[in-house]
Amino acid sequence: MFPTPMLKCNSPSVFLQVTFASFIMSFGLCIQVGIAYPEFQQFSEKNSGRTTNCASCHENATGPAGNGSGQIGSLTIEEFAKLNEARTAFEPGKDVDSPILNRFGDLLIKKLGKRKVLEDRKEPAKLASDYGFQSDIDQDGIPDAQEFLDGTDPQNQHHGDAWRLFVVNINRYAPHIIAAAIGVLLLDWGFARMIGGFMAIKRARKKRST
Ligand SMILES: [Ca+2]
């Protein structure tokens, strides 16, 4: 006789695994409502006048709820474990790798701790000062916290306040700009001297012929 599928399902270890997985999935699905904190996005938009989305902190631009990439509904059991680690990182200093948060979101949890992030929902502007202006994930010269205030993407070096990027680039490339300016001036000076030389030769020939 062949064993029936029911015998496999009745295996205690498989039953426990399935039950555990169901519990984890149900737990995740039940708490997916309310895990996003729109206060920060709303503040960023109001403060900057720019339209922002959840991609500032989350993997998915539409937020953590759903079945898409970086959203609760698509997570594996291993990813749920990482998610719960991030959710319980109430104190600062813990490395987290949340499957629903991007690098900036993970760093927020690491630097501030979940407890502080939750507190800052009442006064979202404090998130920037609490996080500090040292980190610059995309290395565009504008700190992550400033990009939060400006409503720009802290992970995209081509996305930033135009004036700030201009100032940053002027400072960053000042030696090159000065060298280029000196080069142009020297070129102009040399060209003027050359024209002057040709004119002098022309005048000298004309004088000899008359
Ligand atoms: Ca930046």
If asked whether residues 75 and 151 sit together in one domain, one would say yes
Does residue 11 lie within any of the structural domains?
no
Domain that holds residue 209: 173-210
Q: How far is the CA of 159 from the centre of ligand 1 (A)?
A: 8
Burial 103-133 (b: 16+ CB within 10 A, else e): bbbbbbbbbbbbebbeebeeebeebbebbee
167, pLDDT greater than 90:
yes
Total of domains in the chain: 2
Q: What is the mean pLDDT of residues 151-163?
A: 95
Same domain, 148 and 188: no
Report the distance separating Cα 10 and Cα 8, nearest Å. 5
Average pLDDT over the chain, rounded to whole? 86
Summarize pLDDT for 170-186 with one digit per residue, the tens: 998 888 888 888 899 99
- Asked if pLDDT for residue 61 goes beyond 90, the answer is yes
Cα–Cα distance, 156 to 39 (Å, whole number):
22
Confidence (pLDDT) at 33: 41
Q: What is this structure's pTM? A: 0.70
Task: For residue range 88-121, list pLDDT tens digits in order.
Answer: 999 999 999 999 999 999 999 999 999 999 999 9
Does one domain contain both 196 and 144? Answer: no
For residues 52 and 153, membership in a common domain is answered with yes
Q: Of all residues in the chain, what percent carry a pLDDT higher than 70? A: 83
Å from CA of 157 to ligand 1 middle: 6
Q: Read off the pLDDT of each residue in 2-20 and give the average, rounded to a whole number.
A: 46
CA 147 – ligand 1 centroid, Å: 6
From 4, 2, 20, select the one nearest 12 (Cα to Cα).
Answer: 20
Amino acid 7: pLDDT:
37
Amino acid 3: pLDDT: 38
User: How remote is the CA of residue 143 from the centroid of ligand 1, in Å?
Assistant: 5
- Determine the Cα–Cα distance for residues 17 and 22; give it in Å rounded to an integer: 8
39 C-alpha to center of ligand 1: Å? 21
